Amino acid sequence: MVDQRRFDNQPKDFLDAKAAAKLLGIEVRTLYAYASRGLVRSVRGGRGLKRHYARDDLERLRTRSGARAGHGAVAAGALRWGEPVLDSAITQITPRGPAYRGRLAIDLLGTPFENVAEMLWSGYLPGEPIIWPRTALSLSQLGKLVPVTARPLEVMSLLVPLAGIADTQRSDGRPDAIVARCRLLVPLLAASLGWSAGAAQVTRALAAPSIAEICVRALGLADDALAAISTVLVILADHELNASSFAARIAASTDADPYACFSAALATISGPRHGSAAETLAQFADSIGSPERAAKIVREMRARGEALPGFGHVLYPQGDPRTAPLLALARGSSHKRARTIFAIADAVADQRQVSAPMYPSADVGLAALVASFGLAPAAGSGLFAVARSAGWLAHVLEQRAAGYLLRPRARYTGLPVTP
């Protein structure tokens, strides 16, 4: 008999094979096939005992099946990693990673970030390097509000509305006008990565010719970090209908100006389950303390069925293709946090032989790269936001062109109306 105590203390609910198959309305052998393809995570109840299956994965599969069948009662579940909820021509998720306007992101590495952004916005990839203009926005007001100890995302969250207030034409909704504003705004976001060194460093960084170079200067990195930062920006520029891009689309559907749309996206990206996931992984690595302890901690967590931060992306059951290029740039680092992150990844890989496969997401690669530069974990979230700003604007433009308000309905489950 399965020792139920092994599952009672888990943060995620697990079901045995019979209950899992019943939930999905399938035979047990079909459940096994789903698990073998990485669609459902499972853990053992103990040596020689039967496997149990993660309820959240089962619910996701049930939702997708119901949505395909056209069941209105489960349509709302499409918002939880389910079926597509709107049409988009920006990014396709493929087994080889995201494809921007039909081009794989990993094939665009080496292309200037500005060119990739322009392609996301217009569908056309410029052949020559693009140089965006710079704003004359004064940062003196921001200095009165934001201490140098603020995280990059916190700085950006105040910088964007400040830039909006200074723009007397912010309500101009023509696509060309919106793009022109964002060509000024994205360099500001990149330069704000250097806020901890003072407004003067932000201003100096803003004078750099490209977004990648602005990031390098703002973060105080050497020139040889340019290729690595460019890789981060390009590979994370968009990822279909992620949470922050969806938030930007919701704002855009109300005809909110681009500053408001970016503010909505920044608020969303700050969560540890989205753009701040690399920070969470870095904190987890620090809690382990050393690379030598990683294998033991990972083995114990996997035995308990606990989720590991940064591992197991739902859209990539066979592994996130964005991860390898980022890890390759960080490999060989002597920094303790970077070595611990690699030790965690190696320990998880070793555990694939005895438990459900788990692969590192792009957040693991980003956390390792940031650590390899000796930067604070919060720099990873800031870089993520600068990169994803390209996708935000693409979704804002597409949603405004669609011309409808994003206003889904809720299925009421509360108390009935009193007489």
Known catalytic residues? 313, 363
Is the separation of the CB atoms in 191 and 202 below 8 Å?
yes
339 CB-near residues (< 8 Å, 6+ apart): 291, 333
Report the C-alpha gap between 183 and 245 in whole angstroms: 18
Q: Are 24 and 61 a contacting pair, CB within 8 Å?
A: yes
Is residue 85 packed enough to be buried (19+ CB in 10 Å), middle (13-18) or exposed (0-12)? middle
64/24 Cα distance (integer angstroms): 11
Q: Hey, CA dihedral for 278, 281, 285, 286, is it positive or negative?
A: positive
What is the phi/psi pair of residue 53, to 5°? Answer: -120, 140
In sequence order, which ranges of 14-77 are alpha helices (DSSP H)? 17-24, 28-36, 55-68
Enumerate the β-bridge partners of residue 97: 94
Residue in 301, 294, 418, 307 with CA at minimum distance from that of residue 345: 294
- Residue with structure tokens 């094979």? 17
Q: Which two tokens stand for residue 405?
A: 């308000």
Rounded Cα gap, residues 88 and 182, in angstroms: 21
Please check whether residue 298 is in contact with residue 340, taking contact to mean a CB–CB distance below 8 angstroms.
no
**What gap in Å lies between CA 395 and CA 411, rounded to an integer?**
27
Q: How far apart are CA 392 and CA 174, in angstroms?
A: 16
For the chain, the residue count is: 419
CB contact at 8 A, 330 and 372: yes
Q: What is the DSSP string of 197-230?
A: G-HHHHHHHHTSSSHHHHHHHHTT--GGGHHHHH
